[in-house]
């Protein structure tokens, strides 16, 4: 049985919770100072109806902070009008290009406000841990850094040979299974063992990145034992329930499934519109680098050089580090840079 471990890293401007499975990161949950509380899954909000699209059966809601949310106009809700006030619960968080989806709770009155917060990052981790110990400190920082690095990877090796590649398109997430040079007796057995391993790895990676919606897995080979692979798939994706739905393995050797979207995924939280690490993400890395160097050498004067966007994002939280390490830390915006560098000054 694979063992899960749990870690919590409380950093300057950002906290990260990590779950590992058999020593590899399985989940990364990120909470940042300034994240709108009204956008958190489970939050109850007094919202204003901004517009109603009756042809689509949707209403768009102003939550007071962050992007508009979407409400499906089910018959039991009754008539709604633009400008009206309703109480809703965040059912799935906003992600790039899409607002949060909400559940109708009933009518209310203004103004826009948070009625009850959703569970924080520590409560979410405790719910996953179910009483298991949660590690903090240096081990948690290392686990979170490793998880964050892996979120940006595309190809993941399988034990025993072969790999799984996970790539995102506008319509779906594509997973490709490659046998590589995997060895073993009997081609069919090798293929079956590799595909079962790939299903487990794909499930881990999708949870780590926080991907949901339609997923298509291109299994290795043809002539699959569909029943056995579906059993393996259900076991691999069981932690994502309720709401996971599988299709039959097609004659082309693909398995389609849908995974419900709930909390904002780590990949979405860490990236900008370009799909690369955002200035805020790099600013948090810069602050952790400054903190690490300052702790290692209590007498060193440290200067961080960063692109203007990264420097601006980091400057908001630099004072918290200088409270701990004094004014020997400085931050300079350098328009010639695209990243950052921490230097020791005499």
pTM: 0.93
Residue 99 region by backbone torsions, left for phi larger than 0, else alpha for psi between -120 and 50, else beta: beta
pLDDT band at 1 (very low <50, low <70, confident <90, very high): low
Structure confidence by residue, pLDDT tens digits, 6-62: 999 999 999 999 999 999 999 999 999 999 999 999 999 999 999 999 999 999 999
Dump the DSSP string for 166-231: EEE-SS-EEEEEE-TT---SSHHHHHHHHHHHHHHHHHHHHHHHT--EEEEEE-SSSS--HHHHHH
pLDDT of residue 6: 98
> What span, in angstroms and rounded, lies between the C-alpha atoms of 74 and 86?
14
Pairing of strands 301-306, 329-333: parallel
Per-chain mean pLDDT for the chain: 94
CA dihedral 308, 313, 315, 317 (to 10 degrees): -160
More confident residue, 97 or 88: 88
Q: Under CATH, what is the fold of the domain 41-116?
A: OB fold (Dihydrolipoamide Acetyltransferase, E2P) (2.40.50)
CA atoms within 13 A on the CB side of 164: 25
Dump the DSSP string for 30-99: EEETT--GGGSTT-EEEEEEEEEETTTTEEEEE-SSSSPEEEE--GGG----TT-EEEEEEEE--BTTBP
Least confident of 122-131, 223-232, 262-271: 223-232
Second CATH level (architecture) for the domain 278-345: 3-Layer(aba) Sandwich (3.40)
Structure confidence by residue, pLDDT tens digits, 198-244: 999 999 999 999 999 999 999 998 778 888 999 999 999 999 999 99
Give me the residue spans of the domains in the chain: 4-35+121-145, 41-116, 152-267, 278-345
More confident residue, 78 or 29: 29
> What span, in angstroms and rounded, lies between the C-alpha atoms of 199 and 37?
35
Q: Under CATH, what is the fold of the domain 152-267?
A: Aminopeptidase (3.40.630)
Least confident of 41-45, 151-155, 248-252: 248-252
> What span, in angstroms and rounded, lies between the C-alpha atoms of 340 and 342?
7
Hey, which residues does 283 pair with through a beta bridge? none
How much is the average pLDDT of 298-313?
A: 95
> What span, in angstroms and rounded, lies between the C-alpha atoms of 334 and 207?
37
> What span, in angstroms and rounded, lies between the C-alpha atoms of 123 and 106?
27
């Amino acid at each position: 049985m694979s063992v899960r471990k749990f870690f919590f890293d409380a950093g300057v401007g950002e906290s990260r919770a990590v779950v590992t499975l058999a020593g590899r990161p399985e989940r990364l949950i990120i909470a940042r100072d300034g994240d709108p509380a009204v956008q958190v899954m489970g939050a109850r909000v007094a919202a204003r109806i901004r517009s109603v699209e009756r042809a689509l059966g949707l209403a768009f809601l102003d939550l007071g902070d962050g992007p508009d949310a979407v409400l499906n106009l089910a018959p039991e809700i009754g008539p709604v009008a633009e400008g009206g006030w309703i109480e809703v619960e965040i059912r799935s968080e906003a992600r790039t290009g899409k607002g949060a989806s909400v559940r109708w709770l009933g009518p209310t009155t203004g103004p826009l406000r948070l009625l009850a917060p959703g569970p924080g990052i520590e409560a979410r981790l405790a719910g996953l841990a179910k009483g298991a110990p949660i590690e903090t400190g240096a081990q948690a920082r290392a686990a979170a850094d490793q998880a964050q690095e892996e979120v940006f990877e595309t190809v993941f090796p399988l034990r025993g040979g072969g790999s799984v590649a996970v790539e995102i398109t506008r319509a779906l997430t594509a997973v490709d299974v490659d046998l590589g040079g995997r060895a073993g007796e009997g081609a069919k057995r090798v293929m079956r063992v590799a595909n079962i391993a790939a299903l487990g790895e794909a499930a881990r990676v999708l949870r780590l990145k926080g991907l949901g919606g339609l997923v298509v897995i291109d299994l290795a080979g043809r002539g699959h034992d569909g029943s056995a692979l579906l059993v393996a798939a259900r076991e691999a994706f069981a932690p994502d329930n309720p709401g996971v739905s599988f299709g039959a393995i097609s004659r082309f050797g693909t398995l389609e499934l849908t995974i419900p979207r709930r909390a904002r995924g780590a990949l979405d939280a860490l990236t900008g519109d370009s799909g690369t690490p955002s200035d805020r993400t790099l600013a948090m890395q810069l602050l952790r680098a400054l903190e690490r160097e300052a702790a290692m050498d209590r007498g060193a004067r440290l200067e961080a050089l960063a692109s203007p966007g990264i420097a601006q994002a980091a400057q908001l939280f630099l004072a918290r580090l200088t409270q701990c390490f004094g004014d020997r830390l400085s931050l300079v915006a350098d328009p010639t840079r695209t990243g950052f560098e921490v230097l020791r000054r005499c």
